[in-house]
Structure 1
Amino acid sequence: MDENNIGTVNHIDINQEMRSSYLDYAMSVIVARALPDARDGLKPVHRRILYAMWDMGIRASSPHRKSARIVGEVLGKYHPHSDTAVYDAMVRMAQYFSMRYMLVDGQGNFGSVDGDSAAAMRYTEARLARIAHELLEDIDKNTVDFTPNFDDSLVEPDLLPARLPNLLLNGATGIAVGMATNIPPHNLTELCEAIAFLIERYDDIDNVTLDELMNLVKGPDFSTGGLIIGNEGIRSAYATGRGRVVMRAKAEIEPLPRNPDRQRINITEIPFQVNKAMLIERMAELVNKGVITDISDLRDESDKRGISIIVELKRNTQPLKVLNQLYKHTALQTTFGVQMLALVDKQPRLLSLKRALQIHIEHRIEVITRRTQFDLDKALKRQHILAGLLIALGHLDDVIETIRRSPDADTARAQLMERFGLSEAQATAILDMQLRRLAALERQKIEDEHRDVTAHIEYLEGILADKKKILGLILEDINEIKEKYGDERASEILPGMDADINMEDLIPDEDVLISITRRGFIKRTPVAAYRKQARGGKGLIGMGRRDEDQLEHLFAAGSLNTILFFSDRGKVYADKAYNIPELDRTAKGTSLMNVLPLMPEENITAALPVHSFEDAEYLTMITLKGRIKRVEVNVFENVRPSGLIAINLDDDDRLSWVKLTAGEQDLIIVSEQGKGIRFSEEDVRPMGRNAAGVNAIRLDSWDRVAGADVVLPDDDLLVITEKGYGKRTPLAEYRQQNRYGQGVRAMVLAPERTGKIVSARVVVPGDEVTCISANGIILRTATDVISQQGRSTQGVRVMELREGDTIASVAVIREGRLSQVNGDEEAEELVESEAATAQNGAAPSVTVGDASG
């Protein structure tokens, strides 16, 4: 410390200091602890363990050494952290149920699939596994960079040469600061075939498709085997780096040996990273609580031959039903959330399958280039020495005379260099040459070695000059590794198995409430969860911030209903209501991105529960630009997981309203500039799924649709403007017209006073309306108190707004929709509770029951 600065107080910005310190800490955790390097697939602790064992000479062919000795070596030289952390990392590399291809050969108790811990390090022994040599081979040939260790007393490798694609081979799991990685293991044979394919297409590698790679790499291959259900999650993971892989135990249904009239389930393989003992405890708990009633006995018959969990069934029990119940309620079926995050140039990057394989190939190109250069430098040095020896042998008498006349070795060396044009290294080699090398046979050996070294130099220089030769060497390595260590898949992929098992048999048909927020969070909550809720007030005031979340859709459905989700891009997605995550009424919800395969910037604008696709009903779609399309509901009975095109849209158009219609109803459409048109839906012929629809209303270029609804006889049209004006107009005042007319005046607008129309909805007596302003102010009132006026009026002020504030969204809460399942007062509580659940108390922008935009 500088003595002149003692006692000096430095003023710092605490915010800046906390930010920079936290970022330094975060990057330290990310780079030096939690995430693997994409090139060798290892975290620093695993790399240090393997290198220390290699450096100690503890190879696959050597005897096992005490684990405590290995851990001490790692701690003392490379990894100054907890001995427990080092030992745990080494133990994991020796567990068959953790690593698809074990890197450490352990001897002793290294834990079990039941969650038992390994014995203390003083009791166990270890050595490198044979396959681990492939990670370390050629490390002594300057193939990788070395850096000083923690106290600058030694050096350690930055990474390993890694002939194996270890990142994908054994996978990795780690939690850093603000990010995590979860890479599944894969089959070595499949990875080798994919790498060989990429090498053969290296000049055209940009055009290699994911489908071509997935023909070779079928999917993850877990060490515990089991089944992988479906391939959509695998495809997503390989394309984007993120995906959800559903794992399921492998089970066999067989008769009881002592009683063939009864059956049992024999579970022989369980999902990856599932604790077998806790799994059996969970099964027993379900039986004791009466959740599963058809199990008579449960025991673990696992041994050294493999896993065997026996589930004996009662007489006349359907085994598949019980198995489905076990899949639903236990970890016999679980999800592996793929997050292929690894360090690329010391930066965390999300990797696709293709990019991960490319990085391995690029790493091997660099390793082989450096190895070849190392061998070339060594060969050139040897060639130089041999050339000097050949000069000496050619002038043997003169060389001997020169050495004899020299008073000492240094003088002799100088004389040789001067007289024969030798380098210092050559002169030294001549002085060190033994007399036996003067024999004719030994002289011939020197000439033969010089010729061989020269040929080897030409070979090495040829490799460095031609990248295809380097790729050829990588291909040879990959094929050799495949032959030496390749095996069959442990996990079986069944793309269609999810369709073979009817999970709906296990789902109770109950009324649920489904909510979607503007920021894209969705949840399912049983309606019964609200029955004991205390009543709140009729209004909420938000935090007054524009970035708050708001409830966008709120509707009741049956748990077995199919929910059709329509996006503003004109796509439709489908999912069963019971597949939507069930959360507490106070929970925010889960991201729609986890439920639906939405594209970036794609938003759900309508959601409809469908009880049966056999009903002769239609879906009518209306866009912002006034296009309309009518499609039979059953067209969307089989929506693929990636979604379907529901309507073809122009680039500047958006799908905003989707209504269920019966085939003979009238529709009413209102524009922002006050035009309204009513026509029969029969004017719009049913179309195919890919059609773009027809024009519904003739709009000016600056106008667009503000609202659309199905006409209900003897009811009113509620119109709300952006500056808080509104009115109810009897629908009888809107005569039926032909489609694609200009319509009639729906409201007299004054830009300064009323602004444009933001919402138009059909309302019935008893409905309520909730208006939310851009500043988060919420007004909830009965529609009956809004005066009923004719079409050619401006309406009345519905909501007082502060200067500069405008109406952002309008929700109509229809009495009788939710009250059918929960009663009038409780239906009101549902909406208030869901509004309060939105972030910071923001209110809903919802359509209850109808659920369309």
Structure 2
Amino acid sequence: MDKKKFTSISLQEEMQRSYLEYAMSVIVGRALPDARDGLKPVQRRILFAMYELGLTPDRPFRKCARVVGDVLGKYHPHGDQAVYDALVRLVQSFSTKYPTLDGHGNFGSVDNDPPAAMRYTETRLAPIAHKGFLEEIGSETVNFSNNFDGSQKEPDVLPAQLPFLLLNGSSGIAVGMATNIPPHNLGEIVDGLIALIENKEISDKQLSKIIKGPDFPTGGELICGNALQELYKTGKGSITIRGVIKIEELTLSKGKHKKNALIITELPYQINKAGWIEKLAELVNSNKINGISDIRDESDRDGMRIVIELKKDSNAELVISNLYKKTTLQTNFGAIFLALINGKPIQLNLKQYLNYFLEFREETIRKRTNYYLKNTLEKLEILEGLSKATKDIKKVIETIEESENSAEAKSKLIEKFYLSEKQASSVLDMPLKKLTNLEKNQIDDDLEKLQEKKDYFQKLLNERELLLKLLIEELLILKKKYDVKRKTKLLKNIDQNEELETINNQILEDFVNKKTKLYIDNRLYLKKMILNNYKKSFEEVNKIIDNKNIQKFIFKIEKNIKLIGITLTGKVFHIDWESNINNDFKLDNKIIGNINQNEILNFHSMKKGIKNYLCILNSDGRFKKVLFDENMFKSNRSFAITKLKNNIQIIDSFISSEENNLIILTSIGRLFKFNLSNKNLNPTTKQSQGLMLAKPLPTERIVSCCQYKNGDNIYLISKQGKIFCINSNEIYYANEYNLGYLNERTQLKNDYFLKVSPSNHYLDIETNKNKSARLDFDKLNFTSNKTNFLINFLNLEKGEYLENCFRLENLMH
């Protein structure tokens, strides 16, 4: 093999060169539109090919396969499906604001149904495309270049009479860049162009008052605000669009109650209806959106209608807010005004683009006027020659008769009558009927009219103000003919978080007025309970029942309360229940963060704006009180509230105020009583280990603690279900030197204590046999037993014992 045929090159340089060529090919030849006509190459070629085929709006439809074949064979050497997809989009009224093609057949739907094959569908140019793109193409207004094989000529750009880049928008992903231009309203764009012609110094703010915002073919609602101003000022930004939804009362059938329903009549631009409904159903089934009982699609040829039936007690405004927040019923449209100018991708703001289009349109009108002037001068030259000839027709005839041939006749006419070659040829070609007086007068009239036209065209080219006036007149004609009412409604700047907060506050107010309770069950679901149901749940007390779905923690719904949880390992986390107040939801990792659910010890509610002390007791007898501040959660969802040694856990906790007292219980019944306002129990930091208040003996464990008020009864419950009652005044205060209070009546055999509770609380218990009971201490009879001990009132089965106990505050008031 001859080594001279090979050249060594740098792989890096070759890759850079080749990739740059590829990138520019994609940018210029496929993905980005030209700023002048707003078309990508494939779109321009489709329109021009159809123009050449004569598929004007007044002609019959032609098969799309024929159009695609012409485009492929003459101008666009790519795949037929790519061309057909581009053609389909130009037909779809839900994709293109002002469709440039009329279609006959199935061209897809907002449900993302595919169009029929190209052999079945038919198309032709739409009136706005024929007028706005192609009317002036034969007037030497644009340059033509060779096609891919040099066999045809194709236009570099179409002589667009309107800024279709803004009217229909455009989207495309190139290499290292992308464009996404939203569609706009024709009337507003024309008014903006006219305002810019009349005042070149118009500000972006003034211009945005005329062009109020994008106008999408699918309608919807546009939230106007700073983002829209930023988009028009810089050419890049993100705007928020919404679907249109209303509340409607449905009468389903006779004898049935009326139901509230949400009716969606418009979805945001480019949202797939069928896909949206399917996604909504998933959210409803997974309890991420509550309050919905049924979803159905009642859309027909008259328009879109998605019916969302609501449950009886659902708050419609909150459901709407959740639909906006959790589905694409509200979505952001990331816009960037990127287009090709002189073959280079350039980002333009609104005013810059309108100015660029006006320059292009002014240039097009000048080229068109020059073309008209050239034709007028040619006609004028011929008519002037005919006029000279008809005024001395006898001499003209004699000259022709005396000539040997037409060439000699032509030469003599030029010489005798001072005619040009074109004029002499037209005289020789003149039919005899032109010699009548009527025809002579017609020639003179035509001469006068052509002279007026010539003067007008010359004046148009010389006087820019006159040309701009014509430009405005033509824009107004197009506006009158093709303008349609704005579809996308404009909304004032809406803060979705504020909107949701307002709705939540209204619902919260309603819950507070109805004394609704909030509870967490044994499956860690956070739910609500109306007052009557809450009262019913306390009717069957002091009795073992099958454990179904007990309420572990119950809170009163109030304004400005914060729910927190605490784990065995000392982590504290908060639950954002207010932002999802109308829904029941599971406390999974999405809600409580990276918390091991099996380690959760307690939940507490705290009133915002007052001093809340979180009191915690460790298994080693250490106790600490932390002044709780809601700002603790600003940076983290959870944090450590205490510092624990190895194998030490938190065993109990409560929220306290300073005037209460503290009781600590050990497994053998020792009680340690303290005043929480004692200076030794001052609040400590999160980093401290706490103060040793109850050091356990080798044979016992620290099991529980609670707060109480002077004179309250204190109840102790054991693993075997035994309950001991003692008045708090009988217990003396402990200090760091004594061993606490131990009543001889509390000595247990083969048993130990689990929980301590004051008299103003209920106690929920769970057994190892999956049974439960709710204890109301006020209904227990201790007077018949001098030892204040209830031993077998729960009637536990053989081998059955208590596993868990949960204190519940009395919230009957």
Shorter-normalised TM-score: what interval?
A: 0.5 to 0.7
Checking the alignment, whether the CA contact within 8 Å between 1:230 and 1:498 is kept in structure 2 is: no
SS at structure 2 position matched to 1:480? helix
Q: 1:141 aligns with which of 136, 139, 142?
A: 139
The 3 A distance-change label for structure 1 pair 764 and 326 is: closer
Once residues 195 and 615 of structure 1 are traced to their aligned partners in structure 2, the CA distance between those partners, rounded to angstroms, is: 60
Mark the runs of 5 or more structure 2 residues left unpaired by the alignment: 506-563, 568-572, 580-589, 595-605, 612-684, 689-813
Instruction: Work out whether 1:343 is the aligned partner of 2:336.
Output: no
Equivalent residue number for residue 74 of structure 2: 77
Equivalent residue number for residue 220 of structure 1: 214
Checking the alignment, whether the CA contact within 8 Å between 1:386 and 1:446 is kept in structure 2 is: yes
Q: CA deviation at 1:55?
A: 1.5
Q: 1:170 aligns with which of 152, 168, 171?
A: 168
Equivalent residue number for residue 257 of structure 1: 251
Q: CA deviation at 1:612?
A: 13
The 3 A distance-change label for structure 1 pair 415 and 473 is: same
Instruction: Work out whether 1:60 is the aligned partner of 2:57.
Output: yes
Rg bigger for which structure?
A: 2
Q: CA deviation at 1:14?
A: 2.2
Question: Which amino acid letter does the alignment assign opposite residue 287 of structure 1?
Answer: V
Checking the alignment, whether the CA contact within 8 Å between 2:251 and 2:259 is kept in structure 1 is: no
Q: 2:177 aligns with which of 151, 176, 179?
A: 179
Equivalent residue number for residue 669 of structure 1: none
Equivalent residue number for residue 296 of structure 1: 293
Q: 1:86 aligns with which of 56, 69, 83?
A: 83
Instruction: Work out whether 1:353 is the aligned partner of 2:350.
Output: yes
Instruction: Work out whether 1:98 is the aligned partner of 2:92.
Output: no
Equivalent residue number for residue 240 of structure 1: 234
The 3 A distance-change label for structure 1 pair 559 and 413 is: farther
Checking the alignment, whether the CA contact within 8 Å between 2:110 and 2:272 is kept in structure 1 is: yes
Checking the alignment, whether the CA contact within 8 Å between 1:262 and 1:316 is kept in structure 2 is: no
Checking the alignment, whether the CA contact within 8 Å between 1:324 and 1:506 is kept in structure 2 is: no
Once residues 241 and 471 of structure 1 are traced to their aligned partners in structure 2, the CA distance between those partners, rounded to angstroms, is: 26
Checking the alignment, whether the CA contact within 8 Å between 1:66 and 1:124 is kept in structure 2 is: yes
Q: How does 1:14-413 map to 2 (within 5 A)?
A: 14-133=11-130, 134-201=132-199, 205=200, 207-258=201-252, 261-413=258-410
Q: 1:476 aligns with which of 462, 467, 473?
A: 473
TM (norm. structure 2) is 0.61
Question: Which amino acid letter does the alignment assign opposite residue 151 of structure 1?
Answer: D
Once residues 764 and 322 of structure 1 are traced to their aligned partners in structure 2, the CA distance between those partners, rounded to angstroms, is: 40
SS at structure 2 position matched to 1:93? helix
Task: Summarize deviations over 1:12-50 as a string: whole Å, max 9, x none.
Answer: 222222212211111111111111111111111111111
Once residues 129 and 251 of structure 2 are traced to their aligned partners in structure 1, the CA distance between those partners, rounded to angstroms, is: 44
Once residues 421 and 262 of structure 1 are traced to their aligned partners in structure 2, the CA distance between those partners, rounded to angstroms, is: 94
The 3 A distance-change label for structure 1 pair 613 and 492 is: farther
Q: How does 1:794-813 map to 2 (within 5 A)?
A: none
Question: Which amino acid letter does the alignment assign opposite residue 155 of structure 1?
Answer: K
SS at structure 2 position matched to 1:381? helix
SS at structure 1 position matched to 2:495? helix
Checking the alignment, whether the CA contact within 8 Å between 2:291 and 2:310 is kept in structure 1 is: yes
SS at structure 1 position matched to 2:372? helix
Checking the alignment, whether the CA contact within 8 Å between 2:31 and 2:173 is kept in structure 1 is: yes
Task: Summarize deviations over 1:86-137 as a string: whole Å, max 9, x none.
Answer: 1111110111110111111101000000000100011111111111122211
Checking the alignment, whether the CA contact within 8 Å between 1:402 and 1:416 is kept in structure 2 is: yes
Task: Summarize deviations over 1:425-470 as a string: whole Å, max 9, x none.
Answer: 1111111111111111111111111111111100100000011111
The 3 A distance-change label for structure 1 pair 403 and 364 is: same
Task: Summarize deviations over 1:584-611 as a string: whole Å, max 9, x none.
Answer: 99xxxxxxxxxxxxxxxxxxxxxxxxx9
TM (norm. structure 1) is 0.58
Question: Which amino acid letter does the alignment assign opposite residue 250 of structure 2?
Answer: L
Checking the alignment, whether the CA contact within 8 Å between 1:67 and 1:126 is kept in structure 2 is: yes
Question: Which amino acid letter does the alignment assign opposite residue 225 of structure 1?
Answer: G
Once residues 414 and 449 of structure 2 are traced to their aligned partners in structure 1, the CA distance between those partners, rounded to angstroms, is: 26
Q: How does 1:423-434 map to 2 (within 5 A)?
A: 423-434=420-431
Once residues 107 and 207 of structure 2 are traced to their aligned partners in structure 1, the CA distance between those partners, rounded to angstroms, is: 36
Question: Which amino acid letter does the alignment assign opposite residue 223 of structure 1?
Answer: P
Checking the alignment, whether the CA contact within 8 Å between 2:265 and 2:304 is kept in structure 1 is: yes
Equivalent residue number for residue 577 of structure 1: none
Mark the runs of 5 or more structure 1 residues left unpaired by the alignment: 508-527, 532-555, 563-580, 586-610, 617-762, 767-853
Question: Which amino acid letter does the alignment assign opposite residue 98 of structure 1?
Answer: S
Once residues 420 and 40 of structure 2 are traced to their aligned partners in structure 1, the CA distance between those partners, rounded to angstroms, is: 46
Q: CA deviation at 1:419?
A: 2.9
Once residues 75 and 179 of structure 1 are traced to their aligned partners in structure 2, the CA distance between those partners, rounded to angstroms, is: 27
Checking the alignment, whether the CA contact within 8 Å between 1:68 and 1:121 is kept in structure 2 is: yes
Q: CA deviation at 1:260?
A: 5.2
Question: Which amino acid letter does the alignment assign opposite residue 160 of structure 1?
Answer: L
SS at structure 2 position matched to 1:181? strand
Question: Which amino acid letter does the alignment assign opposite residue 219 of structure 2?
Answer: G
The 3 A distance-change label for structure 1 pair 560 and 169 is: farther
Once residues 180 and 114 of structure 1 are traced to their aligned partners in structure 2, the CA distance between those partners, rounded to angstroms, is: 26
The 3 A distance-change label for structure 1 pair 266 and 434 is: same
Q: CA deviation at 1:396?
A: 2.1
Once residues 394 and 55 of structure 1 are traced to their aligned partners in structure 2, the CA distance between those partners, rounded to angstroms, is: 44
Once residues 221 and 164 of structure 2 are traced to their aligned partners in structure 1, the CA distance between those partners, rounded to angstroms, is: 23
Once residues 212 and 455 of structure 1 are traced to their aligned partners in structure 2, the CA distance between those partners, rounded to angstroms, is: 40
Number of corresponding residues: 524
Once residues 395 and 307 of structure 1 are traced to their aligned partners in structure 2, the CA distance between those partners, rounded to angstroms, is: 76
SS at structure 2 position matched to 1:215? helix
Checking the alignment, whether the CA contact within 8 Å between 1:222 and 1:490 is kept in structure 2 is: yes
Once residues 504 and 22 of structure 1 are traced to their aligned partners in structure 2, the CA distance between those partners, rounded to angstroms, is: 54
Q: CA deviation at 1:226?
A: 0.8
Q: How does 1:795-834 map to 2 (within 5 A)?
A: none
Identity, % of aligned pairs?
46
Q: For structure 1, which segment, 317-326 or 394-403, has the greater mean C-alpha deviation from structure 2 after superposition?
A: 394-403
Once residues 615 and 59 of structure 1 are traced to their aligned partners in structure 2, the CA distance between those partners, rounded to angstroms, is: 77
Q: How does 1:663-674 map to 2 (within 5 A)?
A: none
Task: Summarize deviations over 1:792-817 as a string: whole Å, max 9, x none.
Answer: xxxxxxxxxxxxxxxxxxxxxxxxxx
Once residues 154 and 358 of structure 2 are traced to their aligned partners in structure 1, the CA distance between those partners, rounded to angstroms, is: 23
Q: How does 1:568-579 map to 2 (within 5 A)?
A: none
Question: Which amino acid letter does the alignment assign opposite residue 478 of structure 2?
Answer: I
Question: Which amino acid letter does the alignment assign opposite residue 237 of structure 1?
Answer: L
Once residues 245 and 388 of structure 1 are traced to their aligned partners in structure 2, the CA distance between those partners, rounded to angstroms, is: 65
> Over aligned residue pairs, what C-alpha RMSD do you find?
3.1
Checking the alignment, whether the CA contact within 8 Å between 2:504 and 2:578 is kept in structure 1 is: no
Once residues 615 and 342 of structure 1 are traced to their aligned partners in structure 2, the CA distance between those partners, rounded to angstroms, is: 59
Q: CA deviation at 1:299?
A: 0.5
SS at structure 1 position matched to 2:447? helix
Task: Summarize deviations over 1:686-709 as a string: whole Å, max 9, x none.
Answer: xxxxxxxxxxxxxxxxxxxxxxxx
SS at structure 2 position matched to 1:168? helix
Equivalent residue number for residue 458 of structure 2: 461
